[in-house]
Amino acid sequence: MSRIDKRFAELRAQQRAALVPFITAGDPAPEVTVPLMHAMVAAGADIIELGVPFSDPMAEGPAIQRACERALEHHVSLHDVLAMVQRFRADDDSTPVVVMGYLNPVEVMGYETFAAAAAAAGVDGALTVDLPPEEADAYIRALRESHVDTIFLLAPTTSDARIERICGASSGFVYYVSLRGVTGAAHLDLTEVADKLAQIRSHTDAPVGVGFGIHTAAVAAQVAQLADAVIVGSAIVKRIEALAGEPERIPAEVGAFIRELREAITSTTKMTNAINE
Amino acid sequence: MGAYALPDAGGHFGIYGGSFVAETLMEPLAELRVAYKQYLRDPEFLKVLDEDLRQYVGRPSPLYFAARLTETWGGARIYLKREDLNHTGAHKINNTVGQALLAQRLGKTRIIAETGAGQHGVATATVAARLGLECVVYMGAEDIKRQAINVYRMRLLGADVIAVESGSSTLKDALNEAMRDWVTNVDDTFYIIGTVAGPDPYPAMVRDLQAVIGREAREQILTQEGRLPDALVACVGGGSNAIGLFYPFLEDEAVALHGVEAAGEGLDTGHHAAPLCAGKPGVLHGNRTYLMEDQDGQIIHTHSISAGLDYPGVGPEHAWLRDSGRATYVAVTDDEALAAFHELTRVEGILPALESSHALAYTSKLARDLGRDGVIIVNLSGRGDKDVHTIAEREGIEI
């Protein structure tokens, strides 16, 4: 059983949604990332989503764009990100790590090389933002062969036919982009999220994560009632940005925010489970 | 080569093109694909478009025989396709007129666009003003400094020009920001991309709207010379004016197609914008194509004296035409383009855009190679008035 499947099985038993923090690898400096990953796990993160910096992150709002720019000042490459996961794995063999980024660095590395290197480093899943399943046959083949999960995005605009196709291409979990907009936008509509999740669940039994626009513990708790995983990115990245000048404080400060999110999520029973069971 | 039928159903030109975007845009792109295929075959729509091109843009543009330039260069007979005489001064409006009509048919009330030199931004603001649509133009903060007059023109036309400060603050970043706007406002907004790049259907749609250049040129040269030309020459940034000229000649195999990229300070200096000559295939802005990138797959800064060519990618159809050998791509430096700018200005009384000057600079070599029996059509894609400040500054002249 993969780390991701195992983690979701544990969470199902606890009737709790996963807390999935996102950080950009190498932000604000490469040496911060691995200690920060451990600090997030200690504070209650269930899965870590690690952003691969890219020069042209089209789906990101300003906070994660700037995180990419800070990381790229240190020339953090996809190779470097995989090396960070490998170092993280030396002390943590159970927390799933998903790398999230854009296709071009993966294209340059080559799908097979990427898949093998990711698996060897201990990466559990990959989410490539600008790669829809329509263009992903060779990529999916390569990652499947290396037992790395392929996570694809679903959006408010996704039709029934494409939900079916995307769920078919996905493994591990599917990621629902909860709003029309970029990461860190501010207009999450919980009713729309609930409706869309019901529609998605009519196509798949896979866990459904929800991200984009979850800024506070209160919203995280509300989303946790609907989703199997709550993904928080920009709100964390903004805290990192505020401490970019004193990076030694980042693990503790981000850890405190993760704890707050985790408490809020833990205090809510998942509505779906309550209904299902 | 058999009948040319690219792109395929998925928007691919061989391995190039496609739709590499975040999920939110997949349905809007599908909707656009259907609309584009429907309307660009609809006689009613085409009648309106044709009327606009004649009465508003001023088409057909002349195919001008440049007698003195031909004499000066001492080789092939040179014809200039005068896209500089279009309304707003460049070929860009052929595309914006068509896409704005599509936007109207789709019931969209808000138009967005990216722009580099400002020519596409002006052409978009112009058609938005005419149709009474809200218009937002994204422009790199660096380009806003370089192209103050075009920024003011857009504002006069009622457009909201937004400075993009992210990344290198140039055209590629403006495109990123326009995509972000589109993702956010996808229900009421139509994104008018200015070149033959981006996700499917943009490369094919913009090509089809710009192909009026080549259709006219083909008819005009047959009338004026009684035969097809030996070669076509056009500058290539994203590549819309080049595709517009080339496309109707693709199956005329005797007609050589030459695309001219910006070599900037020289291909060996790394300061250039010539992905087809010196880049590698990759994925950016929704399509697979040749890119200027580093060994990690990050997009690198480009340089050209011409803001309209200063872009790290290129339309996917050019990538395919390059690999298939149907077209050849060369690069011309800033200095060579400037020399050609002055030459045309002095011997023909036409100020070409710095972009088009790249095509002219290569034509001076090609004309000699082809000799006096040869016939060349150069796409004079825009007029140079917008560039006089850049040129004066470079030559140390205060205006």
Three-class SS state of A175: strand
Per annotation, catalytic residue among B83, B114, B177, B355: B114
Does the active-site annotation cover B381?
A: yes
Residue B232 confidence (pLDDT): 99
Q: Is B332 exposed, middle or buried (0-12, 13-18, 19+ CB in 10 A)?
A: buried
Judged against a pLDDT cut of 80, whether residue A273 lies above it is answered with no
Q: Which residue of A has its CA nearest to B12?
A: A135
Best mutation site among A52, A99, A100, A104 for testing chain B: the one with the most B CBs within 10 Å?
A104
CB contact under 8 A, B26 and A132: yes
Residue B364 confidence (pLDDT): 98
Question: Between B179, B187, B288, which is nearest A58 by CB?
Answer: B179
Asked if the C-beta of B156 comes within 8 angstroms of chain A's C-beta atoms, the answer is no
Whether the Cβ atoms of residue B316 and residue B195 lie closer than 8 Å to each other:
no
Among all chains, which residue has been given the structure tokens 């590698």?
B280
CB contact under 8 A, A54 and B28: no
Structure pTM? 0.96
Mean pLDDT of chain B: 96
**How distant, in Å, are the alpha carbons of A105, B98, B109, B245 from that of B104?**
38, 10, 7, 27
The H or E element spanning position A177 is: strand A174-177
Q: Which residue of B has its CA nearest to A152?
A: B23
Homologous superfamily of domain range A3-276: Aldolase class I (3.20.20.70)
- The gap from C-alpha B16 to its chain's centroid, in whole angstroms, comes to 18
Q: What is the DSSP letter of B367?
A: H
**A269: pLDDT confidence band, cut at 50, 70 and 90?**
low
Q: What is the DSSP letter of A18?
A: E
Does the active-site annotation cover B365?
A: no
Give the Cα separation of B219 and B214 in Å (integer): 9
Q: Nearest-CA distance from B282 to chain A in Å?
A: 6
pLDDT in tens, A192-229: 999 999 999 999 999 999 999 999 999 999 999 999 99
From the list B331, B81, B96, the residue with the least C-alpha distance to B215 is: B81
Pairing of strands B286-291, B280-284: antiparallel
CB contact under 8 A, B166 and A65: yes
From the list A170, A111, A176, A173, the residue with the least C-alpha distance to A146 is: A111
Q: Which residue of B has its CA nearest to A69?
A: B167
The H or E element spanning position B392 is: helix B388-394
CB contact under 8 A, B282 and A65: no
pLDDT in tens, B223-250: 999 999 999 999 999 999 999 999 999 9
Q: Which residue of A has its CA nearest to B288?
A: A104
Q: Is the peptide bond before B201 cis (omega within 30 degrees of 0)?
A: yes
Asked if the C-beta of B328 comes within 8 angstroms of chain A's C-beta atoms, the answer is no
CB contact under 8 A, A59 and B20: no
CB contact under 8 A, A77 and B184: no
Give the Cα separation of B91 and B85 in Å (integer): 9
Q: Tokens in use for B212?
A: 């009026």
CB contact under 8 A, B166 and A130: no
Q: Tokens in use for A75?
A: 């020339």
In one-letter notation, the amino acid at residue A161 is: A
Asked if the C-beta of B75 comes within 8 angstroms of chain A's C-beta atoms, the answer is no
The H or E element spanning position B326 is: none
Q: Which residue of A has its CA nearest to B173?
A: A56
CA geometry: angle A158, A163, A169, nearest 5 deg: 125
Q: Is the peptide bond before A62 cis (omega within 30 degrees of 0)?
A: no
Pairing of strands A149-151, A153-154: unpaired
Residue A270 confidence (pLDDT): 61
Give the Cα separation of B367 and B69 in Å (integer): 10
Residue B260 confidence (pLDDT): 98
| Chain B residues within an 8 Å CB radius of A108 | 280, 282, 293, 295-297
Among all chains, which residue has been given the structure tokens 């000799």?
B371
Asked if the C-beta of B176 comes within 8 angstroms of chain A's C-beta atoms, the answer is yes
Give the Cα separation of B115 and B93 in Å (integer): 13
| Chain B residues within an 8 Å CB radius of A107 | 281-283, 288, 297
Whether the Cβ atoms of residue A146 and residue A111 lie closer than 8 Å to each other:
no
Model ipTM value: 0.95
Judged against a pLDDT cut of 90, whether residue B53 lies above it is answered with yes
Residue B168 confidence (pLDDT): 85
| Chain A residues within an 8 Å CB radius of B293 | 104, 108
**How distant, in Å, are the alpha carbons of B37, B101, B288, B304 from that of B320?**
22, 29, 10, 24
Give the Cα separation of B248 and A92 in Å (integer): 61
Q: What is the DSSP letter of B350?
A: -
Name residues 295-314 of chain B within 8 A of A (Cβ).
295-300
Average the pLDDT over B91-103 and give the result: 98
Judged against a pLDDT cut of 70, whether residue A272 lies above it is answered with no
- The gap from C-alpha B188 to its chain's centroid, in whole angstroms, comes to 26
Asked if the C-beta of B188 comes within 8 angstroms of chain A's C-beta atoms, the answer is no
CB contact under 8 A, B27 and A159: yes
Judged against a pLDDT cut of 70, whether residue B306 lies above it is answered with yes
CB contact under 8 A, B27 and A152: no
**B142: pLDDT confidence band, cut at 50, 70 and 90?**
confident
Give the Cα separation of B218 and B248 in Å (integer): 8
Output the furthest CA–CA distance in chain A (Å, rounded).
50
The H or E element spanning position A142 is: helix A137-145
Portion of chain A with pLDDT greater than 70, in percent: 97
**A184: pLDDT confidence band, cut at 50, 70 and 90?**
confident
Portion of chain B with pLDDT greater than 90, in percent: 93
Q: In 10 A of CB B181, how many CB atoms?
A: 21
CB contact under 8 A, A69 and B166: yes
| Chain A residues within an 8 Å CB radius of B198 | none
Does the active-site annotation cover B92?
A: yes
Q: How would DSSP label each residue in B32-84?
A: HHHHHHHHTT-HHHHHHHHHHIIIII-PSPPEEE-HHHHHHHTSSEEEEEEGG
CB contact under 8 A, A180 and B24: yes
Judged against a pLDDT cut of 70, whether residue B313 lies above it is answered with yes
Name residues 347-366 of chain B within 8 A of A (Cβ).
none
CB contact under 8 A, B23 and A154: yes
Question: Between B18, B27, B300, which is nearest A158 by CB?
Answer: B27
From the list A107, A102, A52, the residue with the least C-alpha distance to A75 is: A52
Asked if the C-beta of B187 comes within 8 angstroms of chain A's C-beta atoms, the answer is yes
Give the Cα separation of A157 and B352 in Å (integer): 44
Q: Tokens in use for B12?
A: 């691919």
Give the Cα separation of A11 and B123 in Å (integer): 55
Question: Between B27, B283, B299, which is nearest A55 by CB?
Answer: B299
Output the furthest CA–CA distance in chain B (Å, rounded).
56
Judged against a pLDDT cut of 70, whether residue B312 lies above it is answered with yes
Map out the domains of chain A as residue ranges.
Answer: 3-276
Where are the strands (E) in B270-351, listed by range?
A: 280-284, 286-291, 327-333
Whether the Cβ atoms of residue B231 and residue B374 lie closer than 8 Å to each other:
yes
Q: Nearest-CA distance from A192 to chain B in Å?
A: 15
Q: What are phi and psi of A245, to 5 degrees?
A: -80, -20
Question: Between A54, A62, A181, which is nearest B183 by CB?
Answer: A181
Give the Cα separation of B41 and A229 in Å (integer): 46
Give the Cα separation of B350 and B305 in Å (integer): 19
Q: Which residue of B has its CA nearest to A103?
A: B283
Q: In 10 A of CB A87, how many CB atoms?
A: 14
In DSSP terms, which residues pair with B195 in a beta bridge? none
| Chain A residues within an 8 Å CB radius of B187 | 180
From the list B183, B195, B27, B192, the residue with the least C-alpha distance to B111 is: B192
| Chain B residues within an 8 Å CB radius of A106 | 297
pLDDT in tens, B1-45: 457 999 999 999 999 999 999 999 999 999 999 999 999 999 999
Pairing of strands B280-284, B189-191: unpaired
Tally of helices (H runs) and strands (E runs) in chain B? 16, 14
